[in-house]
Amino acid sequence: MLKSTNKFSGFVFALSLLVGLSGCGDETTSNNSVPNQSVNKKATIQGGVFDATTGARIGGDDLSLTLVQGTSHRTPNVLVKDTTKPLVGEYAFSDVPVNIDAGNITFKMVITNTNYQRFEGLVTFPVPSATIAGTTDSIINIVRDVYLFPVGATAPDIEVAVSYSGEEVVGATVMLQQNAAANSVSITTSGGTRLAASPGLLPTLSAVTALNADGVAVATFSGASLVLGGAYTPVVLPVTHEGTPLARQTLAQIFAGTSVSPIAVAMTDIVPGANNDGLHVVFASNRNVDDLVATGALSLVFNRDIALPDATAFPFTVSITQCLPNTGPCTAVVTASVTPVLTNSRTLTLTPVFSTAVAATDLGLQVTFAGGAVTIPGENEAVSIFGTANMLLFDGSQISGIVNILGR
């Protein structure tokens, strides 16, 4: 018995030693209780193509669907074009890679039909990786219905009327940016299964303003090129109106068939000066204060045609002073008068007529013009010229009426 007991004890010892040795060395363990995650999953996307105005299914030979999948442009595995079939417009793409949490898989769906607005939308197939027991289903199917907007079927014309300071602006380019992502459907859609259109993927429509029968400058966009319920953003590009540069104007989004037309746009100028006509001076002969002008004349060139208002209501005046160093304030030395002259349609020249001739020894003489005004031909607003924010030089500075005759 003793001998048998010793054999059993030796076996236990040897087994214990073997187990102990197996725990030494590499301490890495493997946990096989959670299955490995699957990658490179594939999915099927299916849905129907519908008219966004009537809800009717769309088919026909000119219905085209393309899934832009990287370098591959795929046609559907299934597309029902036969308009006599109850499932006309149904489509399906198979073997489309899905997106396991990383957010790095996006494809583009492009759908065209002769009578409908082009559709482009981004397609993703999000599949959460943190599913039951860390696994994902081997079969993935997603429904994405598409609603196309018919072109010109019932959409009215859209007119954009462009004006500046009460004047019609002819020749302005107006753009209609198509905001397909914001289109307003006329029917109840399939809600969460609807594939949204992507903004900015459609061409911009363009028209130029011209006088209509009522004498209003409008850019007209024919309803034949629009979609009912389509969202558009009107943009008027910069334009020069009668010598005045006008700024780009972007209007609020409108909808074909519900927004009031014509849409009035009042342009603003991008020139100095606070007058309502964008009138300003582009050249002043006295801008360099060190220049000497023997006649004392001042020439001002305006950015657009001008006229002179009633001289009795807006008379120009002139004074002659002598300003010498170390003699205190400037003093009046002679008198003079001035008659404004338009040497051309945009140039005003003021020349003093001295009561006493100026001698070469009369150093430090200055002419100072004041008063007066100009108008735009056919307009009632008279704009003062000197020392006012209403009339400025092109660089934004006020216009000086001082002309130096003789140096000091």
User: What CATH number is given to the structural domain containing 48?
Assistant: 2.60.40.1120
Q: Which residue has the higher pLDDT, 84 or 227?
A: 84
Residue among 35, 33, 36, 38 at smallest CA distance from 127: 38
- Asked if the structure places residue 1 within a domain, the reply is no
Q: Which residue has the higher pLDDT, 82 or 125?
A: 82
pLDDT tens digit sequence for 143-153: 889 988 888 76
- Flag whether pLDDT at 307 surpasses 90: yes
Of the pLDDT bands very low, low, confident and very high (cuts 50, 70, 90), residue 237 is very high
CB 374 within 8 A of CB 381: no
- Asked if the structure places residue 72 within a domain, the reply is yes
Q: Cα(343)–Cα(151) distance, rounded to whole angstroms?
A: 56
Same domain, 399 and 290: yes
Ranges 158-162, 217-221, 227-231, 326-330: which has the least confidence: 326-330
Q: Cα(172)–Cα(158) distance, rounded to whole angstroms?
A: 16
Same domain, 173 and 70: no
Highest mean pLDDT (candidates 29-43, 120-134, 223-237):
223-237
The size of the chain, in residues, is 408
Q: Cα(388)–Cα(284) distance, rounded to whole angstroms?
A: 15
Ranges 26-40, 97-111, 117-131, 193-207: which has the least confidence: 26-40
Boundary of a domain, candidates 98, 115, 148: 148
CB 133 within 8 A of CB 35: yes
Same domain, 73 and 178: no
Boundary of a domain, candidates 97, 116, 148: 148
Same domain, 310 and 333: yes
Average pLDDT over residues 6-22: 44
- Asked if the structure places residue 255 within a domain, the reply is yes
Same domain, 116 and 170: no
Dihedral angle computed from the Cα positions of residues 180, 187, 117 and 265, in that order, rounded to the nearest 10 degrees: -50
Residue among 84, 89, 80 at smallest CA distance from 119: 89
Average pLDDT over residues 181-202: 70
Q: Which residue has the higher pLDDT, 5 or 311?
A: 311
Of the pLDDT bands very low, low, confident and very high (cuts 50, 70, 90), residue 136 is low
Same domain, 310 and 389: yes
Average pLDDT over residues 115-122: 89
Q: Are strands 42-51 and 146-148 parallel, antiparallel or unpaired?
A: parallel
Q: Are strands 316-322 and 331-334 parallel, antiparallel or unpaired?
A: antiparallel
Q: Cα(81)–Cα(61) distance, rounded to whole angstroms?
A: 6
Same domain, 223 and 143: no
- The pLDDT of residue 135 is 52
Same domain, 290 and 334: yes
Rounded to the nearest angstrom, the gap between the alpha carbon of residue 335 and the centroid of all alpha carbons in its chain is 57
- Flag whether pLDDT at 132 surpasses 80: no
HSE (side-chain half, CA atoms, 13 Å) at 258: 13
pLDDT tens digit sequence for 322-346: 877 655 667 777 788 998 999 999 9
Same domain, 304 and 369: yes
Boundary of a domain, candidates 148, 167, 190: 148
Same domain, 290 and 378: yes
- Which CATH number does the domain housing residue 215 bear? 2.60.40
pLDDT tens digit sequence for 158-188: 999 999 988 899 999 999 998 888 887 665 6
- Asked if the structure places residue 9 within a domain, the reply is no
Residue that has been written with the tokens 């001008």 in this structure: 306
CB 248 within 8 A of CB 235: yes
- Asked if the structure places residue 258 within a domain, the reply is yes
Q: Which residue has the higher pLDDT, 261 or 353?
A: 353
- Asked if the structure places residue 304 within a domain, the reply is yes
Quick one: tokens of 90? 């149904």
- Asked if the structure places residue 23 within a domain, the reply is no
CB 117 within 8 A of CB 195: no
Residue that has been written with the tokens 């081997």 in this structure: 138
- Flag whether pLDDT at 100 surpasses 50: yes
Q: How much is the CA Rg of the chain, to the nearest whole Å?
A: 41
How many structural domains does the chain have?
Answer: 3
Same domain, 257 and 354: no
- Asked if the structure places residue 179 within a domain, the reply is yes
- Flag whether pLDDT at 364 surpasses 70: yes
Same domain, 356 and 251: no
Considering the chain, what percentage of its residues have pLDDT values greater than 90?
Answer: 39
Q: Are strands 72-74 and 78-79 parallel, antiparallel or unpaired?
A: unpaired
Range of the domain at 98: 42-148
